[in-house]
Amino acid sequence: MNPYTPSLLIGPELDAQGVLDRALARCRARGLGETGQLLAALHAGDPVAHSYFRYAVAEELCHRLACLSSVFRAVYIYGSTIDNRAHPNSDVDIIAWVYRKTDAIEKLLALVNLHLTKAYRDLMGSTKLKRLLDVHLVDDEDVEQGRGYGGVIRSLWTAPICMWRR
């Protein structure tokens, strides 16, 4: 088994290195240069390169979460990734709106995060990043009452971007 495979629930074809490779390909398709140029920009700490790369990682993650039956309602990102101020040790701030928060969903996302973080550290040659993803689960009640990160979804000041909606 590939050491980067986060979960059989997501599928063995999704390995963390594959997510990062597809994110690099998305960046190339958006005109950010060839892989070597992008990696050089990432290693140099270019905030735009880091922001685009993290956005592409979030897109890949959303693509996989969309395949997980009807557990997820929507996925949002906010923070440095969308503000073009990400740096090598920035995480990707994510709000995952689920029908019902469960320990199983939290454990699954934590495992995905663990493997993506390891692959990112390998890519960057650094161990400083604590986690690549900062995922917060919210449910209908959180959003309706504006409680916690449920309030961020409708915030005028934070203005998260909806990456995917069921």
pLDDT at residue 166 tops 90: no
Residue 119: which of 8, 13, 11, 19 has the closest Cα?
19
Amino acid at 81: T
Mean pLDDT rounded to a whole number for the chain: 88
pLDDT of residue 140: 96
Question: Is residue 13 scored above 80 in pLDDT?
Answer: no
pLDDT at residue 127 in the model? 87
Could you give phi then psi for residue 33, rounded to 5 degrees?
95, 175
7-11, 26-30, 95-99 — which is least confidently predicted?
A: 7-11
* pTM for the model: 0.88
Helices 47-65 and 16-29: angle between axes, nearest 10 degrees: 120
- Provide CATH code, domain 16-165: 3.30.460
Model confidence band, residue 11 (pLDDT cutoffs 50, 70, 90):
low
- Dihedral through CA 40, CA 56, CA 87, CA 44, nearest 10? 0
List, as one string, the DSSP characters of the chain: --TT---TTT-TT--HHHHHHHHHHHHHHTTS--HHHHHHHHHTT-HHHHHHHHHHHHHHHHHHHTTSTTSEEEEEEEGGGTTT---TT--EEEEEEESS--HHHHHHHHHHHHHHHHHHHHHHT----S-SEEEEEE-HHHHHHT-THHHHHT-TTT--EEEEE-
Q: What is the mean pLDDT of residues 6-34?
A: 79
35-43 vs 103-124: helix crossing angle, rounded to 10 = 100
31, two tokens: 């005109």
pLDDT tens digits for range 102-135 = 999 999 899 999 999 999 999 999 889 999 999 9
Q: What's the token pair of residue 99? A: 């029908």
What is the structure's pLDDT at 22?
Answer: 94
**69-85: average pLDDT:** 90
Instruction: Name the pLDDT band for 5 (thresholds 50, 70, 90).
Output: very low
pLDDT in tens, 23-71: 999 999 999 899 999 999 999 999 999 999 999 999 999 888 887 767 8
Q: In a 10 Å sphere around its CB, with 0-12 CB exposed, 13-18 middle and 19+ buried, how is residue 36 labelled?
A: exposed
